[in-house]
A and B are shown apart, each in its own frame.
Chain A
């Protein structure tokens, strides 16, 4: 009978892979991910690309909201900053992708620092409203600064190319996004097992207690905002290359709300949960679309389309109501049952 995995040193406690099983599964996932475009159709690859880009941004949000406990409804704004930065630099200044991606992240991080300042005094709903306002302000700035952002007309971005190699198809772009997602996952996992990550957790649990423990709360809250918005900025830049067009309609407030629902569905505070949440929420929409198309005739039946929205919303609500620990909570519960069987604990 398995008795669980016992960590016997600090090194083991903070190691990236806790046990050999985890290592094997990670390798299996890596191989599947690398081989996926060989078997997936172009359309499905494009959907997966969209999911992976969303996952980069949601991992960032998870660090801020899930790990540090600072709620943000402003991530559509950071996404827009990253997307517009990449689009302007690539379309108007002919800058290469390898410069535009980090530039998008850095510009969003700079805005993250700005938005983070109110977080030093605000919490909960008050912070949520402040970050929500940020998205509205960014939209307004984009529409007003027409000479830079092309206003409401939006910007068409060139085909992604890296070091002279054009990523003409979704399958070729897939590998670049996969590489960035891997970096994002590793970055998040490393932050969480570092001193910074422990400080984030302490702030989430009780910021007054964290301060009493000697954690410079203000500095770490700003760290969280900067890191999180950097992730969102990179995701926005990738989105600009993926869709090859940006305008304010691409960064509506609903994106921020969807992102928060993704981390809740996946499991707050968990990097894997953030990725699973993205796959669940975006995948659910696609599965419903597929089922409705199968059953609804050529027009997809107008009433069936409305039903799709209802089912989609209901699933999310039920999840939030009955499984607040998200999909990762369900996974942990079943894993523990398996390990401890026949005992309860």
Chain B
């Protein structure tokens, strides 16, 4: 065993000597592997980083949340395909009834879309969202710094009032307090309700700055009573004339009750929408854990995809190694002949050249890991996300590069080992 290790070390030294004899060529050959492994590490760490940041964002929305929206699962919202395809305001009210969904603590329906909001000369395009007073219960961290939030009386009376998100307030009003000012909201000129006119609203409150969370940034939103959004600003009726909502956010009384809430809502809506036992849901109920799973599935696929693309460059690097090794074998034919003449066996020559290829690729792999980590750190500096270098990706890259060296080294090494010593010594 000791002698075996000593022999191996002997051969590694011979391989290193061979590589050091051609420093520039070795470095250039290694560059292919360095770039390949670097790309694998960098792209995978960026993918892992994206996954971590998406997970964190979903978690920051708050736990025990359930989203209900129209449309079959996985198909997105379906519009206008029959009366029961939409989620109506009455559905939302039924969900809010504790007799129907006893495990829900709060129910917050929403209805809104992006449109122009105008104050004086300032003009911004933001999400104008119709909400109920329950909205802050569903989105933890919504906090009013000036004035008040939407109240029941605003919803009941379809009042022309608005609460501005932090960024919207700054964009429209600059430094001063908007409470009491009048803003105008453009009615989208599509559908039978909109005619391109404007609705005037009085600002009654401003929200504190939020850490950006979720898919709609509350900082860049304008909140209005849901009834105002449905009837005065947008056309909130489906083809049957029912008032609809965009989505309903339900807060389960506790995290453990989230599954019960999902079941209760599903049963309720199936009954309300008259869906037979063999038919699919025409709505979409998802708890936060499902969203997490879905997001990590998507980012996982993305990471694997990025890694595979980077893997192609590693393959190209491997072909570079094979090319150089073939040149090297031809160039050193006489050396191989001499080594055989002084007693090198076929296996010695095979191992020598194979080790040269593996040393090239593993050394390149290690440098590539450093390069990849460096690239990841560079991405961190942009502030978009934090790259995460996992042990998995490092092991994968090193293992893959060693395998590349072995695979692409075997052919040239075998060519070298098979040389006839007499012919090799005569080779000019």
Is chain B found bound to chain A in the same assembly? no
Chain B contacts to A: CB under 8 angstroms: none
